[in-house]
Amino acid sequence: MTRADPGLLRAGKMAELLEPTGEWVFVDIGFSARGKTCGYLRTDVGTDSTIGRAAALTYGELTREISALVQVPGPPLHLVLEAPLSAVFGPEGNPMGRTGERRGSQTRYWYAGLGCAVLVASLYLIKAIMDAGPRREVRLFEAMVTFKKRSTAPTHEQDAEALWAAVSSGPGGRCRFIQPGPIDERVGTVLASTFALLGLDGQLPPIIQVIDP
């Protein structure tokens, strides 16, 4: 089994998000036994052109698609995952909320409900990328499409498209780019990257937050 050169798989940087160029993949990740619960969109942000259309894939299809894509030599691939890629623990060692996960009385904490499921899905996807042996740099970014109010829930493809639109247009309006941090700055709070669980560098990728109208 080929393992990734650790230098080829890393957290993306805010500067790369603020001035995006090159090839990007946007994933609204799901974790279902049978359903096509993963939204997938591959695009070239620099030329504002999409390679194909957003598609709904099963988790297995998504894993095979991205594993094949990272093995193609070329310029860096920017991979945006709609899943928690960092975690926060309070002074007592209990999980706690991160920046952007609370809006008024509403919360979307990384450790609760669907957040936990997609965190596990992202870890297994990143491990599959490592096992595939990337032949180009892969830059990982976290995304959060949250606080949805629409009467009709968006499809997985629409969530992937919303992420593409956010990166293409930049922060403002209902989209912002934030550095992860604790929602409560108490002494003893620990902020950690989930990448470290896979033996990768523990840098923290910025978060693309899209608040649904």
Contacts of 62 (CB under 8 A, 6+ apart): 27, 29, 38, 40, 125
Q: Where are the domains of the chain?
A: 6-211
Q: Are strands 102-103 and 106-107 parallel, antiparallel or unpaired?
A: antiparallel
Tell me the β-bridge partners of 128. Answer: none
Per DSSP, helices labelled H in 133-187 are: 156-169
Reading the block at residue 21, the tokens are 């160029």
Q: Would the pTM count as exceeding 0.75?
A: yes
CA atoms of 80 and 38, how far apart (whole Å) = 13
What is the SS3 assignment for 99? Answer: coil
Q: Residue 123 in contact with residue 198, Cβ under 8 Å?
A: yes
Q: How is residue 142 annotated by DSSP? A: E
Reference 4, options 139, 125, 129, 140; nearest CA is: 129
pLDDT in tens, the chain (213 residues): 344 465 799 999 999 999 999 899 999 999 999 999 999 999 987 655 556 689 999 999 999 999 999 999 999 999 999 999 999 999 999 999 999 999 888 899 999 989 999 999 999 999 999 999 999 999 999 999 887 666 567 899 999 999 998 998 889 878 999 999 999 888 899 999 999 999 998 999 999 999 875
What is the SS3 assignment for 65? Answer: helix
Contacts of 172 (CB under 8 A, 6+ apart): none
Which residue spans within 52-165 are E strands per DSSP?
A: 55-57, 77-81, 86-89, 102-103, 106-107, 138-146
